[in-house]
Amino acid sequence: MKRIEVKLSLPVVAPLLDLIKAAVGDLGGRLAAPQHLQDLDEELRTAWQADLLGGQNDDCRRFLALFDREFFASGTVGFDEANAESVLRACAAIRLRLRERELKNLPDEVIEGAGADVTQLGAAAAKAFMCYVFLATLQELIIQHLDSAILDG
């Protein structure tokens, strides 16, 4: 099984985890992406959304499990075909929530280019933007190194 281990800077990443956990907590009862399910009858829509929410919560739990005792000892997190898809989806969900909750005042073009000047943001928005970029970096690493495992899985 192909596995990549990433050494993260503890002083940089550890302070971001509280905000990431808050976003995950906020996602506990809601879906990250907008839903367009008006064509479904109510019973099906309810079951559909419950299934999506269950999957989203499971992905977020698996993502947060990366930041365990070993991470705080060594700064290392590992990705393989067993967790890559869940981590990718969790990062997407958390980034969507951060954009909705903490970064809603940034224009789309700034968000799309990840080009915000953090020195021009308030402290809360700057931290949220660092989380947003950090999660994108994890996604890029997984896509770059584990795309075959994901596509074949």
Partner 1 sequence: MTMASARTGVAPASRTETELALEGLWRVVVLNDPVNLMSYVVLVFRKVLGFDEPTARRHMLEVHEQGRSVVWIGVREKAEAYVFTLQQWHLTVRLEPDEKN
141 binds partner 1 (CB under 8 A): no
Among 9, 11, 41, 120, binds partner 1 (CB under 8 A): 41
Q: Return the exposure string of 98-128: e unless at least 16 CB atoms fall within 10 Å of the residue's CB, then b.
A: bbeebbeebeeeebeeeebeeeebeeebbbb
Sketch the per residue contact string, 58 through 87, with partner 1: x for CB under 8 A, - otherwise.
------------------------------
Q: Is position 117 an interface residue for partner 1 (rule: CB under 8 A)?
A: no
112 touches partner 1 (CB under 8 A):
yes
**Contact, 32 vs 96, CB < 8 A?**
yes
Q: Which string of b and e fits 25-62 if b means at least 16 CB within 10 Å?
A: eebeeeebeeeeeeeeeeeeeeeeeeeebeebbebbeb
- Partner residues linked to 7 by β-bridges: 76
146 is written with which tokens?
A: 């584990």
Q: Is 140 in the site for partner 1 (CB under 8 A)?
A: yes
Indicate which single residue of 12, 65, 82, 150 sits in contact with partner 1 (rule: CB under 8 A).
150
Residues in contact with partner 1 by CB under 8 A are: 31-37, 39-41, 43-44, 46-48, 51-52, 55-56, 88-89, 92-93, 95-96, 99, 108-109, 111-112, 136, 139-140, 143, 147, 150-151
